[in-house]
Amino acid sequence: MRGVPEPLRRRMCLAATVLTLAGGLAAGCVDAPILNRYTISSSDSTGILTITLEDSLSAYGRISASDSVILRGAPQDLFGNNPQIVIPLRDGRTLLSDGEVVAAFDSSGNFFGVVMPRGRGPGEVTTLSGLWQSADDSLWMVDPSTRRISRFAPDLKYVRSVEYPRFGENSALSIFGGLDRDTTAVVEFNFSDAPGGPGIMRIEYRVGTWVMGGAAAIGEPRVFGIAQRFAPGVVPAGFSLSPPFSPTAQWRPYGRCMIYGFPERWELSIESPDASGRFTPVTVIRAPLALGDAVTPERKEKHIVDAMAGMPANNSEFPRDQYERALREHVTFPEREPAFGRVLVSDDGAIWVQRYRESAERERDYWTIIDAHGLSAWRFELPTRSRLLAVRPQGAFVATRDADDVETQAWVHLPKLKDIKVVPACRLAP
């Protein structure tokens, strides 16, 4: 426990709450029971703080949201696909995208207009893979189809673009947002042949930082200090399929650090870059008892049956017999379903981890909210047919579909999540 303050040396209790969104975001508020299985310890002699969580849904009380801001006024045909990307801006505005067009809403939830339309021209979107706000309130957009990073001014007007380099014939690059004023989080994906049959590809990941040349301008980008990561992901080529319960690695910017983890085990590493750009752990968050169910032959068969039920009878691109054969012969199932689904991070340092769910139609959505600096955690619960798309300080963006399949999208306010801070080793320089 050397280097860890005295309050961290004792067993802690977990202040836990649950937000129930059923019935128009209404929920009763009760006192949360004490949970005495929340332990904090320092690992061996490295000084890395290890936070161990007990993941028991029945142990927590409930809390209600104080209010909400509903997005309204967007044309019904604006999004060709369901909106999946939500970016909260610091002045209260919201950017909403389906990956092909980006629309803006004001702080009251009113539709402002399209700020990044479909297309391949300046300021336009073909395939959106990254969108974030830098320290000077500029907006940065990454389009892998055109290999462009585009900058927009705080008023959302287009400024300029730069094409980023290709890193290999079978590689792709994901850019996850600002780590500091002049660097971003970068993950390179390399695809290569792997044992297991024809058409099977293995993914390898490399993590690093990208120097942008300052937050206010796009400089000559360069990647440095990249560290190799192991590669559990296996995908079949040619059928646009991905393995069910896929263990694809996840990364999220966290202050000047990155949060890194694989869903097949409940363990997140908060890693800080050194002067060379290499990442080393400063904090590890674990929930060792939260292991996914075994993927039995019956579970595999159910997944194939469900996938085929959603397959159109006439599909010229993927005929049904070829699609089913690909599912049965070329998709690799892991031994267990993932221990968690997604990870989100708000600007204040709150870490949101989704409990894995296979079906949004049949299963409720549960999230664990972690304050890694204040050493507290909470529970957040959504009903079926709901999805959580983004978080911000003391808030979450929730989309819920009614019986008529009409979706309501809203920011809900969570005042209990106040005074959360990024861990000291990851705070941005003033």
Residue 419 forms part of a structural domain: no
Write down the pLDDT at residue 321.
81
Length of the chain: 430
Amino acid in position 289: L
Residue 378 forms part of a structural domain: no
Write down the pLDDT at residue 350.
95
Q: Are 386 and 360 in contact (CB under 8 A)?
A: yes
Residue 205 forms part of a structural domain: no
pLDDT tens-digit profile of 272-297? 877 766 778 899 998 866 667 788 88
Write down the pLDDT at residue 1.
32
Q: Are 75 and 413 in contact (CB under 8 A)?
A: no
Residue 326 forms part of a structural domain: yes
Residue 35 forms part of a structural domain: no
Write down the pLDDT at residue 328.
81
Write down the pLDDT at residue 289.
65
DSSP strands (E only) in 194-265: 200-211, 222-229, 234-236, 250-254, 257-261
Q: How many whole angstroms separate alpha carbon 169 and alpha carbon 223? A: 17
Write down the pLDDT at residue 27.
33
Of 83, 37, 8, the closest CA to residue 387 belongs to 83
Residue 227 forms part of a structural domain: no
Residue 309 forms part of a structural domain: yes
Query: What is the residue whose two structure tokens read 């050397």?
Result: 2
Write down the pLDDT at residue 392.
95
Write down the pLDDT at residue 59.
53
Pairing of strands 158-163, 365-371: unpaired
| Structural domain of 301 | 296-332
Residue 42 forms part of a structural domain: no
Query: What is the residue whose two structure tokens read 């909403």?
Result: 96
Q: Are 88 and 71 in contact (CB under 8 A)?
A: no
What is the maximum alpha-carbon separation in the chain?
A: 66
pLDDT tens-digit profile of 335-365? 778 888 899 999 999 999 998 887 788 888 9
Q: Are 96 and 102 in contact (CB under 8 A)?
A: yes
Write down the pLDDT at residue 211.
67
Q: How many whole angstroms separate alpha carbon 180 and alpha carbon 155? A: 22
Number of domains in the chain: 1
Which stretches of the chain drop beneath a pLDDT of 50?
A: 1-40, 42, 195-199, 214-217, 219-221, 224-226, 228, 230-239
Q: Euclidean distance between the first and final Cα of the chain, in Å?
A: 30
Write down the pLDDT at residue 212.
63
